[in-house]
Structure 1
Amino acid sequence: MSLDMPKFSDLDALYDEENALVGTAMYEDPDLFDEEMEKIFKNTWVWIAHESEFPDKGSFKLSNVGLEPVIVVRDRKGKIHCMVNRCRHRAATVCEVKKGKTSSFQCPYHGWGYGLDGSLRALPYPEQYGDDFDKAQHGLLKLRTESYNGMVFATFKEDMEPLEEFLGEAVCRYIDLFMKQGGGFPVKVLGEHQFTVPMNWKVQLENTTDAYHFPVVHKSFMQTLDGQTEEMFDFLDKGKGWVEDLGNGHSIMMMIPELEDLDANLGAPIPARFEELAQEIRDEGYPEDQVKKIVRAVGGAGFNLNLFPNVSFSLAFFRVLTPISVEQTDIRHIAIGMDGGPDAANQARIRLHEHFQGPMGFGSPDDAEVWERIQRGTKGGEDLKILVNRGMVDEVDGPNGPRGHISAETGMRAAYKMWKGLMAQ
């Protein structure tokens, strides 16, 4: 399928921007899904990895750009490459190990060998291709790759604007703030879990900046919290937060403004729930000012940042979506911690991750249940519209774009505006 394929005749029926209404076909039409994979996932920057996942020369990991399987690898000079995981001979994948370290990649079918930069290095019996066979023209298909603060993105679009321009100044600022969860140390990936949900990828895209669902879907989680933490998460009633369109489909949901910058207010008392952890860190020999910085970072940032089209920074973890089919999406929840930081702090981060995001936690199973029910619900009343108009009544101009109440659907409207713009090309 190419970018000059026939367009859907009425994008307004799929997303009515003026009234913020979404057509049911957005979740169900397989032809529309195929076009999204071409016009969106092959036409913008897509998150593929965090640099800590392949820190050494020769280290690699597998990822996806839409439906395309890719290898992300660091070569002998430390340069990061992203290549389609497909042998140029007969299309077999050249790597099936999710993560590791290597000096080259070799196709298991006929032995074509590729360097860490994707170049074709050797193949058995090359004389059978004739004297004019040029190995330089048969390397692995490569994508443009750029990074920002450890986050690695790739694109098939050669003339795509630089990554930092696509993200924008505001998004870069919030990424920098989110990475303060390293507590003065570099952020690193501690682990992850992956699960598949029978839903369209846009169902999850809508979720990360949707505070409206939190007290309903995550009621059981709230009941497990101590009083101080429960009050902190009661952000809908407090009304201090907001949701803002940051441009290019990106958005932020500021739930706990006092935790926007983790380096602010370090003189405040350590919360009672973290006092035992603080003492463990003191016992490891850290001075009090560093103890406070680390402990504050352990609790996570006060906001969710949604980056169109496939990654979000949610309080204390990364969430990545990978479309599989029109009604199937893989979700990865990635726990992050402190590279070189206290073991006790990283253990605390893992326990907090397990409590909410983990497969036996409270948040992920509840979210997955309602995501699946949305997809099932779209089977009925196909002419009914999906509403993403909450908060339009009092939305204002923010520093970067429209800003709404903490429960507003401003972030969804930001994503669908970008979706519509790309699909119209």
Structure 2
Amino acid sequence: MADPTQTDTNQAHAIDTPLHEVRVDLGSRGYDICIGGGALAHLADRLRAVTPSGRVAVVTDETVHALHGEALAGALSDFQTHMIVRPEGEDQKSMEGLDAVLDSLFRAGFDRSDTVLAFGGGVIGDLTGFAASVFKRGAPFVQVPTTLLAQVDSSVGGKTAINNAYGKNLVGAFYQPRLVLIDTDLLSTLPLRQIKAGYAEIVKYGLIDRPEFFSALDDGLGKRVLDRDADALREAISVSCAAKADVVAQDEREGGVRALLNLGHTFAHALERVAGYGGALLHGEAVSAGLDMAFEFSARTTLCPQLAADRVRNHLTRLSMPTRLDMSHFLGDPDSVMSHMRQDKKNSGGQITLILCHDIGRSFVHPGVDEAELAAYLEDIAP
């Protein structure tokens, strides 16, 4: 049985421990990302500062609710809460999943002064954010991400979406949260596969425009992250969130530089579409392979040195991260892969846009990619 005195001491310590804060500077719509172990103990105070009412609707999934629902309920004990617990899985990001969340909000009598809080991974965050954006034309939205991928990527920046028959995240809205609260302690229950999926997005930031961060990851920080070292997690999450916040502040709606955040993602989304959304391929696993493919294609088309592409693949391989070489079972039909890449949201004028690289830390937007070169590449790597 737990010692109640010890529990109280731990809670007090968590509250006294300062959080690392990153500001997403969007003027009147700006918000803080609060990062640290025990961050849930700060949730009530942070919510009072950013939400207009004392009612909170929490959207979560069955797994997260079973693991951390009691802790969240304790953190929200001063609020009137309504729990919406959905099944786990990518298929929740659908019109049916959206309708279920909205129906629950209406039945509970919520209005647009009440807060909708996402407590889960990227699927829950995307679904909840989109629901909040359309519920009575917009309700306050807060992110409390519980996976590493959501903590460093999908919870920040205001992209909300569901999937449809044509692809991933094709129905959605830009809708910024009022607050992102990241409790690194929640990662203790996350399977290693999910930690690795999140790590792919961490590596991405170094490859986009922070070569010194990639070097630190390559020199040992990355292994410490995968080992769930508390200091390493806090550092890597903070750098990743700061990198994304900088880009979002410059380009909130992906009209320019924000497209760089999709490095590796055009390949990744095509791989996910081929794999289906049943769990055979996680988003972060596809991104890891997509980063490798973006550098491999860049080197093949003489846009970047082969040495850079080799360094990226070697780093991923050393940490047992997926590379293109692990994707053969999804690359057997090059025409299908190409067809899915043509559906990507970054495309313009009927032409495919890719994020490619001149070197590590020197990514760029490449509109109008030569489809013959891309098709030849996909043919060559098909098993």
Taking structure 1 as the reference length, the TM-score comes to 0.25
Higher helix share: 2
Higher strand share: 1
Q: Which has the higher contact order (CA 8 A, sep 6+)?
A: 1
Taking structure 2 as the reference length, the TM-score comes to 0.26
Structure number with larger C-alpha Rg: 1
